[in-house]
Every structure is written in C-alpha cells, then in structure tokens.
Amino acid sequence: MRLIIAEKPSLARAIAEALPGALRREDGALVAGDTTVTWCLGHLLEQAPPDAYDPAFKQWRLDHLPILPDRWKHTPRPKARGQLTVIRRLLKGAQEVVHAGDPDREGQLLVQEVIEHLGWKGPVSRLLVNDLNRPAVQRSLARLEDNARYQPLYRAAESRARADWLYGINLTRAWTLTGRQAGHDGVLSVGRVQTPVLGLVVRRDNEIRDFKPRPFFVLWADLTVTHGMLRAWWVPGETHPLDDQGRLLSREPAAALAERLPGAEGRLTALESRDRRQAAPLPYSLSALQVDAARRFGLSAKVTLDVCQRLYERHKLITYPRSDCRYLPEEHLAGARATLQGACQADDTLRGWFEGADFSRRSKAWNDKQVGAHHALAPTGKPADLARLDKTEADIFRMITRNVVAQFYPPLVTREVKAEFSILDNLFRARGQEVLAAGWKPLFTTRDEAPPLPPLTEGEACRVADVGVEDRETRPPEPFTDASLIKAMMNIARYVEDAAVRRTLREHDGLGTEATRAGIIETLVERGYLVRRGKALRATRIGSALIASLPEAVGQPERTALWEQRLGAIAEAGDDPAPFLAALIEDLHGLLSAADAGRLSLALRDARGEAPPPPTRARSSNAKSSRGKSSNSKVSRPRRGTARGKATKH
C-alpha cells in the first residue's frame, strides 16, 4: 500500500480525486486502488513545553533560565491525537510513504516531523502540489521526487522552530517575571519576529509623537508660453535660508520676489525630454498582494490571506497562495491563453481584459531561474463564476488574474519633460508627463500621475500671468497601516542603520515569511501590543513599555533578518544548523542578563504618562546591600540547563 500524507484535508481530497480508480472513504483517510491518502490538520505536533524536560520548569523562576533542552521533544497538539492514531495505524500497513506537505519550509516540517515522530524507516517520496485542480494534481503525481532532496529545507524549518522556542520561552519568562517585580500583572511575550515588528511601530509612533513641525514656503508662477500655460516653481539659491532638503525657511524672500513677478518676462533656458518604457507589474507574491489589497480595499493582511486560502482550497480558482515568488514557470506560458480564458470568461471586467491581451508577447515574468519551490499567484483556469464569490473574494481574484493578464499587454510609454526658466535672474522649474502609449496601465488605473506640459522649445520666451506664495509645514511620518507594515517587513533592510548589515540584507530581505506576516500582526493586536485606529496600526502603552524595557537589539530588525539569512543558507546551501543554534544560545545569556525590573518599571510609568518616583534618601551601605539582595531585579546567573554544546547537537 502507498500512503500519501497531505498537509490538510482539502489537499488530501484533491489528491485522492486525481488518483485512478473508485474512491472510498475510511476513518481519517481516502482510498483509491492501492493508494491511501490521509492528512494532517496543520501541525499535529508542537515543541514540548519546558516542564516536559524537567517538572521543576512548570514554575516560572529566573534562576531556571536559560532553559536549554538536551534532547528535543515533541508533544501532540490537544486536538491532534485522533489523527495521529490514524496515521500510525496506516503506516503499519504501508510499503511506501509520500510526503505531500505544502511546497514551503513549514509544509516540509509539519508532515516530516509526523513521519519521524511515528518512527517510519521506509522510503519517502515528495509530492509538490501548487494547484488543486485535477489535471495539475495528476501532473504532480507523475513527478514524485525523493524526499531526501528536501532535507535541507526540513533542517532549516526544524532549526527555526527550535530557535523560536529557545528565544521565546526564555525571554518571555525573563520579562514576565521582571514585569511582576515592576508591578505588571500579566505575560510579557517576546518573540524573534513579533518583537522587532512591534519595535518598528513603536519607533514610528515615537517619531510622530516627538515631531516638531517647521514652517516652510514655496513660490509658484503660472507662465504663458507659446503653446499654452504651465505652472513653474521657484528654486531658491544657496544664499537663502534653506533646510537640508532645500526648502525655504523664511517667507520674506518669496514674498519680495512675488511682488516683482507679475507681468515679468523670462526665457526657457533648459529643456529635457525622456521617453520611458515601463513593463507591467509582475504577478503577485502573497505579501505584494496584501500590500495592494490593503491600499485599494482597506483589507488587513490576515483577511487577504484568508480570502486567498478560500480561493485556493474551497474554490480552486488560484494556485498556492503562500508564495514569496513573483515569477511563473516557463512551461506555463504555452497554456496561459487557455488558462486565462477559463478564468476570465464569466466576468465582464476580466473578459474585457482578456480580449485586449496579445498572447504572442512574452514578459520577464516567465522565468524558471526565479522560481523556487513555488511560483507567483495565478488563476488555475477553472471557470470562475464571480457571482458565487463574496465581494472580497471576487475583488482579490480579479487582482490576481489582472496581474497575469497584464503580462500580455504592451509596455506603458510616457514622455517625461523637465523645463527650467530664468525670470528676473531667478530659476523656476516645471515638469510634466505625457502618456504616449497606455499599454497595460488601463487595467490598473486611468489616472495620470502628472499632467503634461504644453509643447516647448528651448529658448522660447515666457511671461508671468499669476503668482502665489504658499505657507506649508513639514509633516510627521504617517503611522503604519497593514499595507505599509507588510511592505516594511518585506523590505526590512531599509530600516537598518548599519551599512554593512544593510548591504547583506538586500539579498535576504524580509522580516517573517509570506505565510507568517499577517499572523504576526494579528498576534500583536490580540496580545494588546498593537491597536487599529481606522487604517492605522498604533502601539499600545504596554507595547511601547515592552520595547523600552528590552535591550535595543531585541526590538530591532537586524537580528531576526540575519536569522532568516542563516536559515536560508541551511535550506538552500545545506549549511550545518549547529553553529546557528550555538550562536543563539550564546546570545541568550547576554540578553537574559539585561532583564531589569527597575528599567521595566520606569518604562511602564512612562507609557502611562506618570511622573518618575521622587529620589529616595541615601541609606547605609548595609541597608543598600540588603535591598539589593532581595530585589532580584537582574536575572540570576543560570543554574539549570545543559551545556551549550549539547543544546546544538539536534
């Protein structure tokens, strides 16, 4: 008997329906011929809690930290025992096992850890399914691979799970216990991704809070030229009071010039014209889709992910959604017309886009070198009756399909014009944009980015028809939204100050993964560290206090982004995970020694807007010594846990 273990029931059903032979259902499985398909329910196993290693760890104590498992253990999730029993029974009668987890790091982990936990020693093949429609699943079943090829991916996922456990368990216990000493009754959760994300929001909120607006002034002049009129803006010289962005800080020079300008004549001294060809945006990765859906429809990242999962699993209208790739396999190009025709035929908007496509074109989106375990989001070709979808599902499906259809449209061609005028020995600039060929742009928007300038000739005369001085103010940065926070997580190198680290991270950009970013934001909201105010995501008082009390590096993105780089090296280059975990454990010792109840108390007071306590009178050295011994505001040196070398063997 061949046993296929899928990641979830929907995938198991799609696989079973693609198998030859009559299909029958058994307890926890589907059977077709000599093949049985069973499933996990997401993660059936989880990292064992600390007290599974030592019953004393059930009580949270500072002198237990750091807790370092000698030999890693798993425990069944509460609702998973029944399905684990089914898989154990089926394994006893199997001659071959097929791993059918999702085609990503977590998918590799959650099925393989079950296979290993249940002690299977026989051969294991790997089935990768990106599309749940029957023809696509049948093609995948014909291309089974040796699961050994994906061992680096499994080791990376396993290392990530162990590192998250070490980091989260130890730091959460340390800060929760020092929080109690500081008067906070509740768990203070610290995580290797969630805390840097919280740190991004806290720092942005602090920038907004501390922002001091500064006035600046701009002068514009409406100019009559040979073939029409345009608006130009004065460029103050270096002799005027300017800030570091060239903005005028005093109104007087602008006002004085404005009085002289009406009716003044000048000349166009420099004219630059450049035609620009812009290809269509690439098909979506999950994060890119979440950013656009948040901007266009105000959807949270989690709502967009949930909608994509329904379109993939329930409706079978799109390919695997939890993808970080924006490219498509070259073999899909030949069938793209038929696929898109099926996706677009039942919707007026999509059908109009499809009919305007030129399928003789080939964009850079079709590139096998850019495709890894999964490709960009795309329609499957199943006929889509959008009337049977809810509005949000239809909106997201249109976006995904549009970005693929757009690959068969010509480029957007624009002419960008920059003009410089000399008037009363002062420099004025104007710029405009003209659309020469709309190309793919009407699929996305009909709005022009900038109005075109009238036809211009270098050296022609101009005359000032109107003039104005505008009083403006510098503005604080915008608070994060779901869209901008997801984008920040995708492009985390932009938020790194160290130039060397920033250069390194450009190749391994990303805080969290496509599959986890939405969940991270929701977790921070659920734990009371972030709150939504309209579209804005703002840090709560306790969220701000937590970041203020932690070592600065814990709330910064560098550490976890570099983790992802090292995990990528394990997954892609087969690096040994032991040095990664050893470095983490060494790091933990230093971080734990920084847990300070006094610092946390001050952070909590500051977040509540309370004044700091008045200074106390000096006491005798004996009294100070006695107080220091009892306060235990610093984490004690670790008494428990194994040697570092042992913790990194697994």
Q: What is the pLDDT of residue 629?
A: 36
Instruction: Assess whether 320 carries a catalytic annotation.
Output: yes
Same fold for the domain at 158-209+517-529+536-647 and the one at 215-279+412-473?
Answer: no
59 pLDDT higher than 90: yes
Taking domain 286-408, whether its CATH number is 1.10.290.10 is answered by yes
86 pLDDT higher than 50: yes
Among 113-122, 315-324, 370-379, 435-444, the minimum mean pLDDT is found in 370-379
Percentage of the chain beyond pLDDT 90 is: 77
Kindly report whether the peptide bond that precedes residue 103 is cis, defined as omega within 30 degrees of 0: no
Q: For 138-152, b where at least 16 C-beta lie within 10 A, e where not — what string?
A: eebbeebeebeebeb
Q: What is the pLDDT of residue 360?
A: 96
Among 132-136, 203-207, 310-314, 415-419, the minimum mean pLDDT is found in 132-136
> Which tens digits make up the pLDDT trace of 551-599?
999 999 888 778 878 888 898 888 999 999 999 999 999 999 999 999 9
Q: What is the pLDDT of residue 293?
A: 96
For the chain, which residues make up each domain, given as ranges? 2-155, 158-209+517-529+536-647, 215-279+412-473, 286-408
CATH of domain 2-155: 3.40.50.140
Sequence-ordered alpha helix ranges (H) in 211-347: 251-260, 286-297, 301-309, 336-344
Q: What is the pLDDT of residue 446?
A: 65
CA angle 53, 56, 62 (to 5 degrees): 105
Both tokens assigned to 443: 């699929």
Residue 552: CB atoms within 10 A of its CB come to 10
Report the alpha-carbon distance of residue 323 to residue 130 in Å, rounded.
10
Which position has the higher pLDDT, 371 or 87? 87
3-state secondary structure of 628: helix
> Which tens digits make up the pLDDT trace of 407-433?
999 999 999 999 999 999 999 999 999
- The distance of Cα 418 from the centroid of its chain, to the nearest Å, equals 36
Q: What is the pLDDT of residue 626?
A: 35
**Mean pLDDT score, 13-25:** 93
> Across all residues in the chain, what is the average pLDDT?
90
Radius of gyration of the CA atoms of the chain, in A: 30
Question: Which among 316, 308, 344 has a CA at the least distance from the CA of 135?
Answer: 316
Q: Of these residues, 53, 167, 320, 409, which one is catalytic?
A: 320
Q: What is the pLDDT of residue 617?
A: 52
Q: What is the pLDDT of residue 565?
A: 81
The confidence band for 619, taking pLDDT boundaries of 50, 70 and 90, is: very low
Q: What is the pLDDT of residue 614?
A: 64
Q: What is the pLDDT of residue 506?
A: 67
- CATH T-level topology, domain 215-279+412-473: Topoisomerase I; domain 3 (2.70.20)
> Which tens digits make up the pLDDT trace of 451-507?
899 999 999 999 999 999 999 999 999 999 999 999 999 888 888 877 777 776 666
> Which tens digits make up the pLDDT trace of 125-136?
999 998 888 888
Both tokens assigned to 37: 């398909």
Q: What is the pLDDT of residue 510?
A: 73
628 pLDDT higher than 60: no
**Mean pLDDT score, 334-348:** 94
Q: What is the pLDDT of residue 237?
A: 92
Taking domain 158-209+517-529+536-647, whether its CATH number is 3.90.550.10 is answered by no
Q: What is the pLDDT of residue 339?
A: 95
> Which tens digits make up the pLDDT trace of 494-509?
888 777 777 766 666 6
